[in-house]
């Protein structure tokens, strides 16, 4: 049975993307605009250059502040009447500490942006979404496997699976789907700091990932496009892992290296 477009079309849709100024959010914005959606770009930093490039609207907003988020959605609705696609992408990487040394402040900061920022998005945007709309949250692989020295970040992302599943069930009667994408390491500013936990993560991806490399932001954007389209109407409440096979098991390269090490 065909229930919508059969070509993963998002043409003519109105999409709101948070954290649009850089990295994955920027790639998602470009992809959806190229696919024919009208874009509302939200970020705490200026993204008006990208908005001009994409013929989009930029609204400066801190997703952790529900009052600012509500005002941004009001502005978007005044322009477009409704929103079809919400991409909860804005996020921050906090701390580089063992759970023994980490502070409550780091946990609260992570939860305010990474978890409550998403809750605010769903709360403010779902009421202006027509049936057939799609909400996609960018979670993280660190929510599914242990992430040494990234406890606050990982915990704030793990909470998103519950938010995704619960809101998927609550919003299904309104015809709104809710899913999350959990990327492994992606080549963005977040992985550019040279911090010890980043170095370790990249070494892990190289040694143990089936493809031995980070994802490009565009490869995450493609998955978001897929989940946003009308062809995905039976997918809701799911976590789609995009990690280049990292959690499928150890790579052949890693196993060979281990055997070689044992035989020395
Ligand atoms: N890069 C990775 O390896 C990776 C892996 C898994 C998940 N993620 C997630 O992907 C998302 C995008 O990350 P990225 O790698 O592109 O990082 P990035 O730092 O390049 O982009 C994050 C964007 O979010 C914006 N932002 C931060 N706090 C905000 C707030 N309070 N309100 C509004 N905007 C805010 C930033 O200004 C920035 O433009 C994040 O949620 C991140 O946790 C990234």
Q: What is the pLDDT of residues 108-140, one digit of tens each?
A: 999 999 999 999 999 999 999 999 999 999 999
Residue of 20, 23, 219 to mutate, ligand 1, most atoms within 8 A of C-beta: 23
- Per-residue pLDDT reduced to its tens digit, 33-83: 999 999 999 999 999 999 999 999 999 999 999 999 999 999 999 999 999
- Is the pLDDT at 245 greater than 80? The verdict is yes
What is the per-residue pLDDT for 195? 75
Specify the pLDDT at position 118: 99
* Pocket-testing residue among 188, 214, 243, ligand 1, by greatest number of atoms within 8 A of Cβ: 188
Look at the alpha carbons of 98, 101, 105, 108 in this order and tell me if their dihedral is positive or negative. positive
Q: Which helix (H) or strand (E) holds 262?
A: helix 252-262
Assign 1 a pLDDT band (cuts: 50, 70, 90). very low
Residues known to be catalytic:
153
Atom 6, ligand 1: residue with shortest CA distance: 140
Residue 2 reports pLDDT greater than 60: no
pLDDT of residue 7: 85
* C-alpha 13 chain-centroid distance: 19
Q: Is 28 in the pocket of ligand 1 (CB under 6 A)?
A: no
87 by Cβ neighbours in 10 Å (0-12 / 13-18 / 19+) ranks as buried
Residue 3, pLDDT score:
55
Between these two residues, 57 and 261, which has the higher pLDDT value? 57
Ligand 1, closest atom to CA 141?
Answer: 6
Question: Per-residue pLDDT for 4 more than 90?
Answer: no
- Confidence (pLDDT) at 175: 98
Residue 45 Cα: closest atom of ligand 1: 37
- Domains defined along the chain, listed by start: 14-193+215-246 (3.40.50.720)
Atom of ligand 1 nearest to the CA of 214: 3
Q: Is 189 in the pocket of ligand 1 (CB under 6 A)?
A: yes
d(CA 198, CA 149): 10
Please report the pLDDT score of residue 263 as a whole number: 83
- Residues 168-190, buried b or exposed e (16+ Cβ, 10 A)? beebeeeebbbbbbbbbbbbbeb
Q: If you take atom 2 of ligand 1, which residue's CA is the nearest one?
A: 186
Read off the pLDDT of residues 166-194 as tens digits, 9 standing for 90 and up: 999 999 999 999 999 999 999 998 888 77
186 in ligand 1 pocket by Cβ < 6 Å?
yes
pLDDT in tens, 92-103: 998 778 999 999
Per-residue pLDDT tens for 218-231?
Answer: 999 999 999 999 99
């Amino acid at each position: 049975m065909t229930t919508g477009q059969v070509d993963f079309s998002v043409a003519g849709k109105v999409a709101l993307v948070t954290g649009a100024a850089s990295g994955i959010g920027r790639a998602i914005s470009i992809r959806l605009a190229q696919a024919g959606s009208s874009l509302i770009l939200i970020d705490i930093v200026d993204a008006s250059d990208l908005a001009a490039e994409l013929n989009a609207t930029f609204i400066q907003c801190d997703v952790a502040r529900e009052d600012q988020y509500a005002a941004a959605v009001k502005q978007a609705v005044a322009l477009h009447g409704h929103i079809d696609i919400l991409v909860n992408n804005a996020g921050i990487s906090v701390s580089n500490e063992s759970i023994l040394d980490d502070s409550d402040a780091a946990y609260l900061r992570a939860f305010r942006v990474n978890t409550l920022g998403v809750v605010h998005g769903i709360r403010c945007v779902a009421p202006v979404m027509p049936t057939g709309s799609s909400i996609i949250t960018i979670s993280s692989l660190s929510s599914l496997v242990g992430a040494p020295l990234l406890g606050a970040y990982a915990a704030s992302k793990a909470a998103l699976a519950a938010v995704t599943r619960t809101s998927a069930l609550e919003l299904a009667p309104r015809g709104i789907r809710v899913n999350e994408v959990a990327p492994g390491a992606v080549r963005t500013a977040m992985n550019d700091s040279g911090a010890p936990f980043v170095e370790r993560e990249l070494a892990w991806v190289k040694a143990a990932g089936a493809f031995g490399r980070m994802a490009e932001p565009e490869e995450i954007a493609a998955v978001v496009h897929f989940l946003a389209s009308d062809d995905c109407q039976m997918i809701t409440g799911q976590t789609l892992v995009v990690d280049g096979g990292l959690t499928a098991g150890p790579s052949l390269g890693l196993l060979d290296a281990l055997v070689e090490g044992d035989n020395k």
